[in-house]
């Protein structure tokens, strides 16, 4: 029995340290909500035990003993007085927190605009302190311990922005702007996922949030402001030329070369991201090649066509070029 | 640790085809290669984006050849003989062996390449 | 003739009864044979078919769930394609909610209510049959859309813009709208039937204080349908207009707002949960006393709780929208309301515990399912309180935590009581009861299975798994929990399979020769009965008459109570007063017939053909549907017969019109549905105005001159006046001979006025340059006008129908129910027209947009 209990704890615990879990709060809101959660879990557990106990008592105790439960007073006490008292307390507790969750009175250190698109995330670090805005995709970098203001929008259907380790979710609704303030309390990489069903690839619309110490964040952001690195190796140069020649620039932007499409994700620093396909695959030359050649097979219904016009070397060249865009 | 999570995941693993190397012929034994570790590398790197790999769910790529029965293949990529030494090089540096291949160099270490090769020889 | 003594001091009729009385009763109520069996209308038959069909959809939707659970058993699975998975979860939710849960509880009441109230049948048996056939055909075709890959794939709440023409151009979403259309028809038909049935066809003396809790629950259920379903009717109407004609209601670039759909959908969708739960809770309050052999403790509190749930459930729809970014103040209000609704459920739970304590619970299968229900439903209720807590909901909304929550509530709150009901009531419809031995297997497999499936999902959700994902990566460690859920799902499936085996082995349908009162229950459905229900109608002095009134069953069966035969020579029911259930008149009810069946077939065909865009065949079927419905209506409103004595000197009329007649009540209920629908349309207009005031009207569009609405309003008033005069005129028309030419002339002149009013309004808006597809303002104005024109067309058909009946002498000063119904609907339509004019012409001026 002890083995079994320990086993089930093991079963649950790995997720508690998960990178996409409300049970492992790493942000101000998530911590607050986790605290609320434990209060209601324990409270509900006690109430459930009480109801179950009373039912068993009514069922099993001799009628003479349990007759007090067969009365109107019992129903009024258990069905009206008790819930009114506990629910009022819970409501007051809940409302006292509702105001602060998702908002901040502090001046945000960074403002980031996140736009949900079928089925990826467009990210723009707003201009700040006279420095230009930066476009990116499917990955958010934030400073630890500082309030970050996210402006959430949608370009097509309803999505929902959710990073369980950091905060609760907020919908992205066409024609509407929602603002969510988040604050990470520990450096690390967290995963988020679209939480409102948005079409065929809703399941594959994830992203990463990387929380850096503030100075590291500023450094990171400064690097992202730079245009794409100039290729050195022959294969990489060939990849860049093919990227332009094949017409990738119609949809994608790579700052510094002739590619300024706005339909798909900005690829200026794509090589530095943790994933491709919005959290679907790890990011390396191999998976990039797979994505270019068979994106409709890997993620049917996304907007990028599968490119099957490249030779083996050409495909490898383009993939290697993209991987080099750190 | 207890057996409980293992029991739960056992049927899954069984369904996936094992990683056991006991029945790997001597000619395909990779010195210093650990098939189980290799499987983890394959999953971490995302080989499944290009290849179908029996036993790894979600590995159903169509860009490269299927790795079904890989251990029984005589050639790697139709270019070099399917021998442990070649395979360890191939999984890390395919373009060095076949300049026209679409398969890029993969971000793995020499030791990881051995593990991957050992894993691939379990695909009988 | 004896002097009438009511309430009766002694048995009103003597036995032995005259020879042939029982045989005549049997003959009159006998179901037709052969192919004509399809025309059967009696509640014993239609109720059972209806339940069987609902059960079929339960199994089909369950199979879809099993496929999904198999796909999710392991991470990165590609057993099925994303597109199929999305169709599966959409169909699973839609079928479970719309083709199983609502029809199942409605079906059960079609079967049970007349039994519990010792009524011969429901007041409108053909309406129930019509609703059943439309549901069976529509539901089946809807399901089959899966086999051609055209099943809806937008999730069961179908949020636009995903489901609008831009992002879902294929027919899939239209099939959803179609499926919902059928359920709207059958739900509203059922609500009318149930309200009139509960309030007007009861056993004498079965006053509101003695009404079975189940009847109360069904009354509240029907009331909720009347106020909740119009929201979904309007939502589907607007979405179909947007999909078919690009009228922008939900498209933000053109002034629409996707949240309008969410408000309308959840204004329906949340009460919907209680629409499903209340009848099931009513069943529990009936079954538990029988299992304990003691009356329900706290009857009044429970009834109060049922009614209270009905009201409160309309105040919490926004708790499905906490994460949409709506203002915090309204979050607080809806959070409070969502918690408050837990109180009535608490009252019921404690009343049931108190009832268990008041006797000795016999642990038969129905009792097991009720204990299982208490366990599962309480857990679901507690997680319900959690998600009402706004900050908590921000995390768990749209995750597997919520999936776990609502499955606990719906399976606990509806499926378990329904299975208790199957085991409990099947002896009233079968020659033998179901097996107790198999029943235990069914219970334990389902009970353990449900917990094994859904309890882990709470954790999966907290660990970050969103709902509606066709797969998930391995490294998030959701695999083991999902595998456990899948194992649980197979346990539930095994339980349901054993239940089906039990049905096959033991269920032998009968309406005359049932297993009898096997549980020694106290309520009227356990009286000996035939197809005609009870031989005679007892005067009831208790909530559990079979326990408290000695010899009741024997007296009823011997015909010693009221109405022991078929006094009018045809099918009939006793109509009683709504409060005290005092006998008022004999209602002659229609028997089997083809028109309502064919009406349902062609209604279904019309919608189906329209969905696949075969417009001409659809129109042909639409016309045929109207023709058959009119043919069915032609036989209603039968000729008054001489008054009859039902026993104890009580002599009752056999015809009634005016405000105390059942048909007037039904029409009032229908008008409430129409009025609520129109109110939802007005809400939609105002909601879009609040989100985009500068678009009302959009720049460059002027509101038509005031003269136009004035003329239209005058025409509405004039036409209403004409029909009122016609009603007065009708009083003087004698009982025989062809109808009055004055009446006919008034009808003929009044209807065109309505038509003109509708068309002139349309002309004025079109002339002012307003186009429906150009802006959300135009779209809503035209939606209001189109809605009104539909009503005008209906009134016109009703007027012509009334005229035809008058021409053949079927309408006169006494026999005037057809005219009265037409008049009521006519007056309503004129009123709705005037409100519509005020909205579309005066309101824009009020907000300063006038010329």
Are the beta carbons of C480 and B8 separated by less than 8 Å? yes
Q: Shortest CB distance from C259 goes to which of A15, A59, A173? A: A173
Chain A positions touching C481 (Cβ under 8 A) are 11, 15
Q: Is the pLDDT of residue C743 over 60?
A: yes
Rounded Cα distance, C241 and C782, in Å? 10
**Contacts of A among chains (3+ CB pairs under 8 A):** B, C
Rounded Cα distance, C602 and C628, in Å? 8
Q: Shortest CB distance from A84 goes to which of C161, C343, C464? A: C343
Mean pLDDT of C640-648: 92
Mean pLDDT of C790-810: 94
**Contacts of B among chains (3+ CB pairs under 8 A):** A, C
Residue of B nearest to C71 (CA): B57
Which residues of chain C from 99 to 128 reach within 8 Å of chain A, CB to CB?
none
Residue C259 neighbours by CB under 8 Å, 6+ apart: A173, A176, C321, C324, C326, C691
Rounded Cα distance, A169 and C116, in Å? 49
Backbone angles phi, psi at C171, to 5 degrees: -75, -5
Mean pLDDT of chain A: 92
Total beta-carbon pairs less than 8 A apart between chain B and chain C: 30
CB C727 within 8 A of CB C823: yes
State the best of A175, A274, A276, A280 to mutate against chain C, taking most chain C CBs within 10 Å: A175
Closest CA relative to residue C288, chosen from C347, C354, C240: C354
Mean pLDDT of C832-843: 97
Q: How far is C104 from chain A (nearest CA, A)?
A: 28
Q: Is the pLDDT of residue C737 over 80?
A: no
Q: How far is A268 from chain B (nearest CA, A)?
A: 21
Mean pLDDT of chain C: 94
Rounded Cα distance, C367 and C787, in Å? 49
Which residues of chain B from 98 to 117 reach within 8 Å of chain A, CB to CB?
99-107
pLDDT tens-digit series, residues C307-317 = 999 999 999 89
pLDDT of residue C102: 93
CB C689 within 8 A of CB C849: no
pTM: predicted TM-score of the whole model, two decimal places? 0.94
3-class DSSP assignment, residue A159 = strand
Are the beta carbons of C383 and A200 separated by less than 8 Å? no
pLDDT of residue B7: 42
pLDDT of residue C809: 86
Residue of A nearest to C165 (CA): A157
State the best of A8, A41, A55 to mutate against chain C, taking most chain C CBs within 10 Å: A55
Are the beta carbons of A291 and B8 separated by less than 8 Å? no
pLDDT of residue C511: 86
pLDDT of residue B1: 35
Residue of C nearest to B15 (CA): C74
CB C54 within 8 A of CB C104: yes
Are the beta carbons of C297 and A75 separated by less than 8 Å? yes
Chain B positions touching A313 (Cβ under 8 A) are 99-102
What is the number of other CB atoms lying within 10 angstroms of the CB of residue C752? 13
pLDDT of residue C824: 97
Q: Is the pLDDT of residue A2 over 60?
A: no
Q: Is the pLDDT of residue A203 over 60?
A: yes
pLDDT of residue C571: 94
What letters, b where the CB count within 10 A reaches 16 and e where it falls short, cover C642-656?
A: eebbbbbebebebbb
Are the beta carbons of B12 and C76 separated by less than 8 Å? no
3-class DSSP assignment, residue C42 = coil
Chain A positions touching B2 (Cβ under 8 A) are 3-4, 6-7, 10
Chain B positions touching A317 (Cβ under 8 A) are none
CB A155 within 8 A of CB A196: no
Helix axes A28-60, C365-388, angle to 10 degrees: 150
CA distances in angstroms from C603 to A85, A299, C38, C632, C812, listed in the order given: 52, 41, 17, 14, 31
Q: How far is C71 from chain A (nearest CA, A)?
A: 13
Q: How far is C612 from chain A (nearest CA, A)?
A: 22
Does any CB of chain A come closer than 8 Å to the CB of residue C456?
no
The ipTM is 0.94
CB C471 within 8 A of CB C506: no
Rounded Cα distance, C307 and C305, in Å? 5
Give average pLDDT by consecutive 10-residue segment, chain B, 124 residues.
41 43 73 93 95 94 96 93 95 95 95 96 93
- Could you tell me the pLDDT band of residue C11, with boundaries at 50, 70 and 90? very high
pLDDT of residue C178: 80
Does any CB of chain A come closer than 8 Å to the CB of residue B40?
no
Mean pLDDT of C346-353: 97
Are the beta carbons of A176 and C385 separated by less than 8 Å? no
State the best of B5, B46, B112 to mutate against chain A, taking most chain A CBs within 10 Å: B46
Total beta-carbon pairs less than 8 A apart between chain A and chain B: 85
Helix H segments across C507-614? 545-548, 552-557, 595-611
Q: How far is C493 from chain B (nearest CA, A)?
A: 20
Higher pLDDT, B25 or C767: C767
Q: How far is C662 from chain A (nearest CA, A)?
A: 37
pLDDT tens-digit series, residues C557-589 = 999 999 999 989 999 999 999 999 999 999 999
Q: Is the pLDDT of residue C657 over 50?
A: yes
Asked which of A250-259, B90-99, C2-11, C433-442 is least confident by mean pLDDT, the reply is C2-11
Are the beta carbons of C77 and B58 separated by less than 8 Å? yes
- Nearest-10 Cα torsion for C760, C766, C772, C773: 150
Q: How far is B26 from chain A (nearest CA, A)?
A: 30
Q: Shortest CB distance from A94 goes to which of C167, C356, C390? A: C390
Closest CA relative to residue C425, chosen from C214, C566, C583, C619: C214
**B37 class by beta-carbon count within 10 Å (0-12 exposed, 13-18 middle, 19+ buried):** middle
Q: Is the pLDDT of residue A15 over 80?
A: no
Rounded Cα distance, C398 and C387, in Å? 11
Asked which of B3-17, C186-200, C282-296 is least confident by mean pLDDT, the reply is B3-17
């Amino acid at each position: 029995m002890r083995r079994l209990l320990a086993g089930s704890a093991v079963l649950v615990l790995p997720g508690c340290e998960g990178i996409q879990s409300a049970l492992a709060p790493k942000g101000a809101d998530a911590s607050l909500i986790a605290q609320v959660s434990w209060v209601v879990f324990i409270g509900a557990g006690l109430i459930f035990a009480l109801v179950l106990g009373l039912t068993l008592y009514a069922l099993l105790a001799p009628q003479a003993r349990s007759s007090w439960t067969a009365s109107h007073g019992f129903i009024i006490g258990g069905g009206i007085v008790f819930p009114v008292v506990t629910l009022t307390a819970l409501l007051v507790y809940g409302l006292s927190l509702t105001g602060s969750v998702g908002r901040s009175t502090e001046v945000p250190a960074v403002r980031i605009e996140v736009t949900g698109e079928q089925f990826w995330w467009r990210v723009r670090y707003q201009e700040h302190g006279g420095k230009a805005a930066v476009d990116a995709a499917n990955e958010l970098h934030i400073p630890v311990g500082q309030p970050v203001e996210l402006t959430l929008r949608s370009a097509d259907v309803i999505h929902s922005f959710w990073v369980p380790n950091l905060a609760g979710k907020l919908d992205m609704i066409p024609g509407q702007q929602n603002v969510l303030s988040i604050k990470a309390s520990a450096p690390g990489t967290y995963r988020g996922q679209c939480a409102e069903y948005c079409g065929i690839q809703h399941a594959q619309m994830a992203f990463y949030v990387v929380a850096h110490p503030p100075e590291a964040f500023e450094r990171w952001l400064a690097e992202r402001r730079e245009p794409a690195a100039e290729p050195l190796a022959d294969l990489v140069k060939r990849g860049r030329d093919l990227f332009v020649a094949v017409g990738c620039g119609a949809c994608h932007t790579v700052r510094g070369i002739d590619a300024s499409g706005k339909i798909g994700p900005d690829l200026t620093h794509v090589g530095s991201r943790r994933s491709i396909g919005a959290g679907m695959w790890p990011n390396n030359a191999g998976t990039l090649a797979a994505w270019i050649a068979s994106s409709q097979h890997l993620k049917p219904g996304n907007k990028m066509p599968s490119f099957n016009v490249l030779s083996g070397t050409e495909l490898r060249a383009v993939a290697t070029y993209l991987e080099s865009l750190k | 640790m207890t057996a409980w999570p293992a029991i739960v995941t056992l049927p899954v693993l069984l369904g996936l085809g094992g990683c056991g190397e006991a029945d790997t012929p001597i000619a395909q034994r990779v010195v210093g290669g650990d098939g189980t570790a290799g499987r983890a590398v394959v999953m971490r790197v995302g080989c499944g984006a290009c290849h179908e790999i029996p036993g790894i769910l979600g590995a159903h790529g169509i860009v490269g050849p299927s790795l079904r029965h890989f251990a029984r293949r005589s050639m790697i990529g139709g270019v070099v003989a399917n021998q442990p030494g070649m395979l360890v090089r191939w999984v890390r540096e395919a373009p060095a062996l076949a300049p026209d291949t679409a398969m890029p160099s993969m971000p793995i270490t020499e030791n990881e390449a051995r593990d991957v090769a050992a894993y691939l020889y379990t695909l009988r | 003739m004896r002097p009438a003594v009511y309430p009766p001091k002694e048995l009103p009729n003597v036995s032995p009864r005259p020879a042939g009385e029982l045989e005549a009763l049997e003959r009159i109520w006998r179901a037709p044979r052969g192919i004509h069996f399809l025309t059967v209308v009696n509640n014993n038959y239609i109720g059972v078919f209806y339940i069987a069909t609902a059960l079929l959809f339960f199994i089909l939707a369950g199979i879809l769930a099993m496929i999904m659970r198999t796909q999710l058993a392991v991470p990165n699975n590609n057993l099925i394609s994303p597109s199929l998975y999305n169709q599966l979860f959409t169909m699973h939710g839609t079928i479970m909610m719309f083709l199983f849960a609502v029809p199942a509880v409605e079906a059960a009441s079609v079967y049970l209510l007349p039994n519990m109230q010792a009524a011969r049948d429901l007041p409108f048996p053909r309406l129930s049959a019509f609703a059943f056939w439309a549901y069976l055909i529509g539901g089946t075709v809807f399901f089959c859309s899966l086999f051609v890959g055209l099943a809806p794939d937008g999730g069961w709440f179908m949020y636009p813009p995903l489901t609008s023409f831009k992002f879902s151009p294929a027919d899939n979403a239209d099939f959803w709208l179609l499926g919902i259309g059928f359920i709207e028809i059958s739900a509203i038909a059922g609500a009318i039937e149930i309200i009139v049935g509960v309030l007007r066809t009861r056993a004498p003396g079965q006053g509101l204080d003695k009404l079975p809790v189940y009847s109360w629950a069904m009354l509240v259920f029907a009331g909720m349908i009347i106020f909740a379903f119009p929201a979904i009717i309007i939502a589907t109407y607007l979405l179909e207009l947007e999909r078919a004609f690009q009228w922008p209601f939900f498209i933000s670039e053109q002034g629409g707002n996707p949240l309008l759909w969410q408000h309308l959908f959840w204004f329906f969708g949340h009460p919907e949960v209680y629409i499903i739960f209340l009848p099931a809770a009513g069943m529990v309050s009936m079954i538990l006393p029988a299992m304990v052999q003691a009356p329900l403790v706290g009857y009044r509190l429970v009834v109060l709780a049922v009614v209270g749930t009905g009201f409160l459930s309309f105040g919490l729809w926004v708790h499905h929208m906490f994460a949409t970014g709506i203002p915090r103040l309204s979050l607080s209000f809806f959070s409070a309301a969502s918690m408050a609704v837990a109180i009535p459920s608490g009252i019921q739970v404690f009343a049931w515990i108190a009832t268990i304590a008041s006797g000795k619970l016999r642990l038969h299968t129905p009792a097991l399912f009720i204990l299982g229900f208490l366990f599962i439903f309480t857990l679901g209720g507690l997680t319900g309180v959690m998600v009402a807590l706004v900050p908590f909901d921000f995390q768990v909304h749209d995750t597997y935590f919520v999936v776990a929550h609502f499955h606990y509530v719906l399976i606990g709150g509806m499926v378990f009581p329904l299975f208790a009901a199957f085991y409990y009531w099947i002896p009233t419809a079968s020659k033998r009861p179901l097996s107790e031995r198999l029943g235990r297997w069914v219970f334990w497999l389902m009970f353990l299975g449900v917990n094994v499936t859904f309890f882990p999902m709470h954790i999966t959700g907290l660990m970050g798994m969103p709902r509606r994902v066709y797969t998930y990566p391995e490294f998030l460690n959701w695999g083991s929990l999902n595998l456990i859920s899948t194992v649980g799902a197979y346990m539930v499936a095994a339980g349901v399979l054993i239940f089906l085996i039990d049905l096959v082995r033991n269920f032998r349908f009968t309406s005359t020769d049932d297993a009898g009162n096997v549980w020694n229950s106290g309520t009227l459905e356990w009286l000996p009965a035939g197809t005609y229900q009870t031989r005679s109608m007892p005067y009831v002095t208790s909530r559990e008459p079979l326990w408290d009134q000695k010899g009741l069953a024997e007296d009823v069966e011997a015909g010693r109570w009221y109405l022991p035969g078929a006094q009018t020579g045809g099918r009939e029911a006793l109509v009683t007063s709504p409060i005290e259930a005092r006998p008022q008149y004999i209602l002659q009810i229609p028997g089997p017939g083809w028109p309502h069946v064919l009406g349902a077939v062609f209604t279904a065909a019309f919608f189906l053909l329209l969905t696949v865009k075969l417009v001409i065949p659809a129109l042909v079927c639409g016309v045929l549907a109207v023709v058959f419905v009119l043919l069915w209506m032609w036989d209603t409103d039968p000729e008054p017969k001489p008054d009859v004595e039902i026993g104890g000197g009580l002599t009752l009329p056999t015809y009634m019109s005016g405000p105390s007649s059942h048909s007037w009540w039904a029409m009032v209920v229908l008008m409430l549905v129409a009025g609520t629908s129109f109110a939802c349309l007005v809400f939609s207009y105002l909601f879009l105005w609040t989100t985009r005031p500068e678009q009302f009207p959009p720049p460059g569009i002027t509101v038509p001159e005031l003269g136009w609405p004035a003329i239209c309003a005058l025409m509405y008033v004039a036409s209403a006046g004409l029909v009122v005069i016609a009603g007065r005129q009708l009083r003087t028309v004698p009982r025989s001979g062809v109808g009055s030419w004055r009446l006919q002339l008034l009808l003929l002149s009044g209807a065109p006025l309505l038509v003109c009013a509708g068309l002139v309004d349309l002309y004025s808006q079109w002339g002012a340059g307003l186009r429906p597809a150009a802006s959300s303002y135009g779209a809503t104005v035209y939606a209001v006008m189109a809605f009104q024109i539909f009503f005008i067309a209906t009134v016109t058909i009703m007027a012509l129908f009334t005229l035809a009946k008058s021409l053949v002498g079927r309408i006169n000063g006494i026999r005037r129910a057809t005219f009265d119904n037409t008049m009521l609907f006519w007056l309503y339509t004129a009123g709705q027209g005037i409100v519509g004019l005020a909205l579309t012409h005066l309101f824009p001026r009020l907000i300063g947009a006038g010329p």
